[in-house]
Structure 1
Amino acid sequence: MTQIVNKYAKRIGLSIFKVTESVLNMSSTTSTGKSSDEISGYILCEKDELDLGITLKGGQSFRLDVSLKENLKSWAGTDSHFKTTYDKIGAVRILNQDVVENLFSFICSSNNNITRISGMVDKLCRLFGEYICTVEGQDYYDFPKIEKLSSSELENILRKEGFGYRAGYIVKSAKKLLSLGEDWLLGLKKENGATYEHARESLMSLPGIGPKVADCICLMSLGHLESIPVDTHIFQVACSNYTPHLSKQKTVTPKIHQEVSSHLRELWGPLAGWAQAIVFCVKINSTSSKTSKKRPISKAEKKKSVKTKVGRKNSSD
């Protein structure tokens, strides 16, 4: 249960951190007579009580072994556009996320927007995940196990819940993962000796996973930080600043994905996926800012517009 809460803390707006002797700066024996090792565990901490220093020491997956400062200098030194981009947003960290949760979340991302993706992942948890706790009247659930997602009845349920064709991909991928064994996904991690190319190709053998989704999983869950997911946002940035000869292309085909990612990987180096994440965040924020500046049309204006169009149609008859 402790591990479940620790993994799921991000969903409930709380922070979990491991209590250790060094963090608490306590003696080897507490006032209760128990050693610090005996009372070490996980503490649920409200956001407003969060101490960043304690959190960073708590073993959460912030990839603290990577020096962003040095890499930012390197990227900016080889790419003038990156320097301009970074100045707009600042630091971005690539978290090391749970591979199972990440895989199915990205299957939900196919032809989808962030709001709907979040809603789908939340539905998966509420409908099929294990109950964790209730906070301020709101129930929270863990991400469902692969065994649960492989149920044949699950596809129809998800289709009724608005998952569309993604429902089939979720069930089929879950069934294939079960047949491959629980260690198959873990075997694709860089720390376990897998190459980026092998991990990527292996992921693409699963239903619903193409080049972009495979790269997302490699980057965010398997430790292959050279992986560069190329979606429409990164493609637009690439056409404007790195690969202008592709600007007439309307869609990101597997061939174009490979060309763009290879170019950026050569430019940014072994941690190219991290540099891509910074560029992506700037692009997303820029797009959101432009959208928010558009004046919303009131209901009255919409009705007036409809009446005008109808009137014009009638007059032409």
Structure 2
Amino acid sequence: MSWNKISCNRRELQLIGTLNGGQSFRWTHDKDKDEWTGIFSKTVWKLRQIEDYLQYKVIGTLPENSTKSNKNSKQDEKFKKTIESYFRLNLNLLESYKEWSGKDELFKSCCQQFYGIRMLKQEPVENLFSFICSQNNHISRISSMVEKLCTQYGEEICSNEGVTYYAFPTVDKLAQPEVESKLRELGFGYRAKFIQKSAAQIVELGGAKWFQTLQDMKYKDARSELMKLHGIGPKVADCICLMSLDHLEALPVDTHVYQIAAQNYLPHLRGKKNVTEKMYVEIGDHFRKLYGDMAGWAHTVLFCADLKKFKQNENDAPDVSQPKKRKKK
């Protein structure tokens, strides 16, 4: 398939910061061609930026994504809308950056280099199980686990240049009782149980449609519902709320985010060994008060800037473990 293009100012979208910053784990970068290959919406994509255009090419897609019409224009329009939705291109990010810069000097300095960081609109099922894999893990290993899930339980989309690509598996596939033991064999450890058990719970709650009810809820209610699943703590619940349920005020707090907050905003939290539940709430509420209803998105820019992901080996990426619960006296 040929390249298609969408008008998009480079200041509105920075692919490396958006695709390589720990939001999604299914993108690879060809540095020689400066092209990205990734999978979402059961479709394999190639992306690149040339001048003020985001260019995309569809390498393969499952039959259910193909239009019945023979007119390529309808198919092209469908893919274009999918890309626009995934990157939330309807939102004027320059305006948001201007607003956040006016509220915070640290953001104002960070956004000069880390412009165009977009909050991806991901599919909840993939988002949830990817972040179960993220617990006490680093980005390269998370990516490996996600690919194992897809290869083992996902539907084959296509093969291209010697690589076979798979869609993310359905909740029903992951809910099967034998999944836990198989994933343990594949090196998932305790996460194997979390994946199978939470998948089974979601099936009982109505499957993928259940996520729509969470999207319609208020943020804190949706977060509470997610935390009823096996292996879903505050941080993972906030990741799902932020990245796939349109609750852009959700703010996942890991040890790295704690360090940003303690060093720059909440000095009384410096020197703490663990992020307690009380600290977790305080940090999130501070940034929600500072940035408003898109606090999670704004803070993602600070996270990318502080992480310096692009200058370090990805194995140095921060641990994304859960905040520790305080012992009851």
Amino acid at match of 1:7: S
Which residue of the partner structure matches residue 21 of structure 1? none
- Quote the offset at 1:289 in angstroms: 3.1
Question: What is the letter of the counterpart of residue 233 of structure 2?
Answer: G
The residue identity in structure 1 corresponding to 2:292 is G
Match of 2:220 in 1: 197
**Counterpart residue number, 2:253:** 230
Q: Distance in 1 between matches of 2:92 and 2:138?
A: 31
Aligned to 1:273: 296
User: Quick one: which of 41, 45, 49 aligns to 1:7?
Assistant: 41
Q: Which has the larger helix fraction?
A: 1
Please tell me whether residue 87 in structure 1 is matched to residue 112 in structure 2. yes
Counterpart AA for 2:129: F
Instruction: For 1:87-126, list aligned pairs within 5 A.
Output: 87-126=112-151
Provide the C-alpha distance between the structure 1 equivalents of 2:212 and 2:292, rounded to a whole number of angstroms: 25
Inter-partner Cα distance in structure 1 for 2:256 and 2:108: 18
**What is the letter of the counterpart of residue 84 of structure 1?**
S
Q: Is the 8 A contact 1:132 1:141 kept in 2?
A: yes
* Equivalent residue, structure 2, for 1:186: 212
| 1:82/1:59 CA distance change after superposition, 3 Å | closer
1:140 is paired with a residue of what secondary structure? Answer: strand
- How has the CA–CA distance of structure 1 residues 56 and 240 changed in structure 2, closer, same or farther, with 3 Å as cutoff? farther
Query: Counterparts of 1:228 and 1:153 in 2: how far apart (Å)?
Result: 34
Distance in 1, matches of 2:237 and 2:82, equals: 30
Change (3 A) 1:6 1:95: closer
Deviations 1:38-57 (A, max 9, x none): 444446xxxxxxxxxx9578
Q: Which has the larger radius of gyration?
A: 1
Partners in 2 of 1:7 and 1:15 — Cα distance? 14
Which is worse superposed, 273-282 or 86-95? 86-95
Q: Residue 106 and residue 245 in structure 1: after superposition, are their counterparts in 2 closer, same or farther (change >3 A)?
A: same
Say which SS state the counterpart of residue 193 (structure 2) adopts.
helix
Report the alpha carbon displacement of residue 233 of structure 1 after superposing the two structures with TM. 1.4
Amino acid of the residue matched to residue 41 of structure 2?
K
In the other structure, the counterpart of 2:263 is: 240
Quick one: distance in 2 between partners of 1:55 and 1:180?
32
Give per-residue Cα distances to partners, 1:52-105, cap 9 Å, x unaligned: xx9578544221232211111111111111111112322201111000010000
Residues 61, 171 of structure 1: alpha-carbon distance in 2 compared, 3 angstrom cutoff: same
Provide closer, same or farther for how the CA distance between residues 133 and 12 of structure 1 changes in structure 2, counting only shifts above 3 A: farther
Superposed CA offset, 1:247-284 (max 9, x none): 12111222211110000110011111111110111122
CA RMSD in angstroms, aligned pairs only: 2.6
Q: Distance in 2 between matches of 1:112 and 1:12?
A: 27
> Tell me, which stretches of 5 or more residues in structure 1 are unaligned?
18-35, 44-53, 295-317
Task: Determine the C-alpha separation between the residues in 1 that align with 2:129 and 2:95.
Answer: 33
Name the counterpart of 1:139: 164
How far, CA to CA, are the matches of 1:10 and 1:241 in structure 2? 40
Tell me how far apart the structure 2 counterparts of residues 225 and 291 of structure 1 sit (CA, whole Å). Answer: 29
Structure 2 gaps of 5+ residues are 1-38, 48-55, 60-68, 317-329
Structure 2 contact 46–58 (Cα < 8 Å) conserved: no
SS at match of 2:95: helix
Which structure ranks higher in relative contact order (CA pairs < 8 Å, sequence separation ≥ 6)? 2
Deviation at 1:158?
0.5
Amino acid at match of 2:305: V
Q: Percent identity?
A: 46
Are the aligned partners of 2:40 and 2:167 in contact in 1 as well (CA < 8 Å)?
A: no
* TM-score, L = length of structure 2: 0.72
Residue of 299, 308, 320 corresponding to 1:285: 308
Letter in 1 for 2:211: L
Q: Which letter maps to 1:108?
A: C
Aligned length: 258
- State how far apart, in whole Å, the 2-side matches of 1:129 and 1:6 are: 12
User: What's 1:306 paired with?
Assistant: none
Aligned pair in 2 of structure 1 residues 213, 132: CA closer, same or farther (>3 Å)?
same
Q: What letter corresponds to residue 88 of structure 1 in structure 2?
A: Q
Greater strand content: 2
Q: Equivalent residue for 1:64?
A: 89
| Cα distance change on mapping 1:55 and 1:185 into 2, 3 Å | closer
